[in-house]
Amino acid sequence: MSVEDGKPARAATIFDVARLAGVSHQTVSRVVNGVPNVRPATRERVQHAIAQLRYSPSPAARSLVTRRSRTLGLIAPNVSDHGPTRIGMHFSMAARAARYSVDTVTTVDDDPGAVQSAIEGLLRQRVDAIVLIVMDIGVVEMVRTLDLSVPVVAAASSARRSPLLVQIDQYRGARAAVRHLADLGHTRIAHLAGPARAADAVERVRGWRDELAERGLPVVDLVYGDWSAASGYRIGREMDVEPGMAIFASNDLTALGLLSALRERSISVPDDVSVVGFDDIPEAAYLYPPLTTVRQDFAALGGLMLQKVLVALEEGEDETTDTPLPTQLVVRDSTRGLGIGAVEPPASQRAGGVAHGAHARPAD
């Protein structure tokens, strides 16, 4: 060990290696764990930095390595919703690429006790780490209190940042959707929200409210649903709709049901009402009309969850707070401008909405 000023130099960390190599600590983690999706030149630069700094995982992590099962526990909500399903799929794919197996347990998401029991069951199976996909705000708060013998990472939306949490920026995504509608000239922008206790829905409602308030527009017409097309259809059959208004739906399935209900009421989208969804499910481009929506990168979130786990396994507790992943506004034919001064994408970017009709731009 080298000595400077009579004191032993501290051991290099994964963050020291990242700084020297000019990469993120997640990239260093991928190199250390042999994950294949790293450019050869980047891998060589990281390996050189590792050798130069004589880096090795922390003593606590090294002792853990000898007991590793190379199995990760994944706790997912027992729902078929697009977002949680895709997040779990992409996390499992990333784990397999890093030569880890995944034990998946589904549970009732709004029951902290059921989630706690699932955690205890996975610990008995000696998993190396536990990953949770959390939808309910009560479970998010319970997860914050966990103090376990293995690393824990949760995919959960929250205004409160935490080293424990990774997330997609629901708040800025919602603001981008409302901003788009306001720029088109809409002054009455309703919101069909998800469940009141759903973490994603809470953040989208917050973004909707804040964007309206910043523009001096009224915060009205907030209705809660359950993420389903049936919910969107039911609300769409009953809600007060007037020409020139806009509706921001909590997700694309809700928007799908809403479009059906409005069509039955002979209300034209977008001629009478503009509609925006959230998620950009594969079917969104094929709805009638093709749906303007906010795209989420579930693959990136699944990969980030795994990298958070790998860093924790190598270094012990990871105190890094990750910036929420950005969303992307995808403009199709379910929205249109009103009157003079409305800001609208060129017609060439809106034709058809399937092969070449979608205009995507960052939502934040």
Its pTM stands at: 0.78
Q: Are 290 and 255 in contact (CB under 8 A)?
A: no
Provide the pLDDT for residue 227.
Answer: 94
Strand pairing partners for 294? 329
- CA–CA distance from 148 to each of 124, 127, 228 (Å)? 12, 12, 35
Assigned fold of 64-168+297-315: Rossmann fold (3.40.50)
Element (DSSP H or E) covering residue 106: strand 101-107
Convert the pLDDT of each residue in 170-179 to its tens digit.
999 999 999 9
Asked whether the domain spanning 64-168+297-315 has the same topology as the one spanning 3-56, the reply is no
**Which CATH number among 3.40.50.1010, 2.30.40.10, 1.10.260.40, 1.20.1090.10 corresponds to the domain 3-56?**
1.10.260.40
Provide the pLDDT for residue 26.
Answer: 72
Provide the pLDDT for residue 3.
Answer: 41
C-alpha 19: how far from chain center? 27
Q: What does the alpha-carbon distance between residue 194 and residue 40 come to, in Å, rounded to a whole number?
A: 44
Assigned fold of 170-296+328-362: Rossmann fold (3.40.50)
Provide the pLDDT for residue 309.
Answer: 92
Provide the pLDDT for residue 104.
Answer: 92
Which phi and psi (to 5°) does residue 154 adopt? -125, 135
Domain boundaries defined on the chain: 3-56, 64-168+297-315, 170-296+328-362
Convert the pLDDT of each residue in 82-92 to its tens digit.
889 999 999 99
The average confidence (pLDDT) of the chain is 85
Provide the pLDDT for residue 342.
Answer: 56
Residue 226: closest CA among 238, 234, 215, 216: 234
Q: What does the alpha-carbon distance between residue 103 and residue 305 come to, in Å, rounded to a whole number?
A: 15
C-alpha 75: how far from chain center? 16
Q: Are 195 and 202 in contact (CB under 8 A)?
A: no
Q: What does the alpha-carbon distance between residue 288 and residue 69 come to, in Å, rounded to a whole number?
A: 49
Under-50 pLDDT residues of the chain = 1-8, 63, 346-357
Residue 204: closest CA among 167, 239, 234: 167
Q: Are 36 and 79 in contact (CB under 8 A)?
A: no
